[in-house]
Structure 1
Amino acid sequence: MVKEGLLDILKGNFLVSDEASKNWRFLLFASVLAALMIASSHQADKKVHHIADLTQQVKTLKSTQVKHKREIQQLLLESRLKEELAPIGLGVPEQPPAKIQIVSQP
């Protein structure tokens, strides 16, 4: 019994029998589902690769930002500013700035 059923499946008799229309509809349905699964899997793989690329770009941009921030901090150091502004005659004043006080008149 089982052997005959297996032989019928292997020979393809289930596709040409009188009730073949039911089998063809099921095979078509199963094929469409398989195609949808494959398409969904490919979309998921694409998204995973895209996320990995974006993560790598974020890491690169963060390291660039840290590098530039460090360079700006170095440029803003008082000793560095003295060196840069000395050729044009600017420097730290030797006297502290004078404080201006406004006295209100009654």
Structure 2
Amino acid sequence: MKGGVYSLLKAKFLIEDDALKNWKFILFLILLAMIMIANSHRYEQKTYRITELTNEVKELRSEFVDRRSQLMELKMESTISKEMEPKHIFPSSVPPKKIRVAKEEKGVLQGLWQ
């Protein structure tokens, strides 16, 4: 036991004759650790990006609701009449009348020539 720990601390397994397979395994573990670190880093970046986009969506949604309410207010008849008063344009007191135009019946030949 004491000799095994001592040889491990002296790293004899790395300088012996069959040390190549040990080096390959150590390099594999290092590569695997680097891949795992890079993967966790990318995961954190994507999580932060998702949080930023979620906040931006909330902000844009509230701005949309605000603009829509402003538009509804601007479309109201009372607002329009207030805006037009300085130009001396007032709402009509007489309701509008519909103008109906009767369709003329055209024959097949008249439709072709015109």
Structure 1 length as normaliser, TM-score? 0.84
Counterparts of 1:94 and 1:9 in 2: how far apart (Å)? 102
Secondary structure at 2:72's aligned position in 1?
helix
Aligned residues: 105
Q: Which residue of 2 aligns with 1:85?
A: 84
Secondary structure at 2:52's aligned position in 1?
helix
Secondary structure at 1:75's aligned position in 2?
helix
Question: Structure 1 55/20 Cα, relative in aligned 2: closer, same or farther at 3 Å?
Answer: same
Counterparts of 1:11 and 1:87 in 2: how far apart (Å)? 96
Question: Structure 1 88/45 Cα, relative in aligned 2: closer, same or farther at 3 Å?
Answer: same
Provide, for residues 44-90 of structure 1, a one-character-per-residue CA deviation record: whole Å limited to 9, x for no partner: 11111111111111111111111111111111111111111112122
Which stretch of structure 1 is more off in the superposition, 33-42 or 84-93? 84-93
Counterparts of 1:40 and 1:55 in 2: how far apart (Å)? 22
State the 1:6 CA deviation. 3.1
Question: Structure 1 104/24 Cα, relative in aligned 2: closer, same or farther at 3 Å?
Answer: closer
Show structure 2 runs of 5+ residues with no match: 106-114
Structure 2 length as normaliser, TM-score? 0.78
Q: CA RMSD in A?
A: 2.1
State the 1:7 CA deviation. 3.0
Counterparts of 1:76 and 1:33 in 2: how far apart (Å)? 63
Q: Which residue of 1 aligns with 2:68?
A: 69
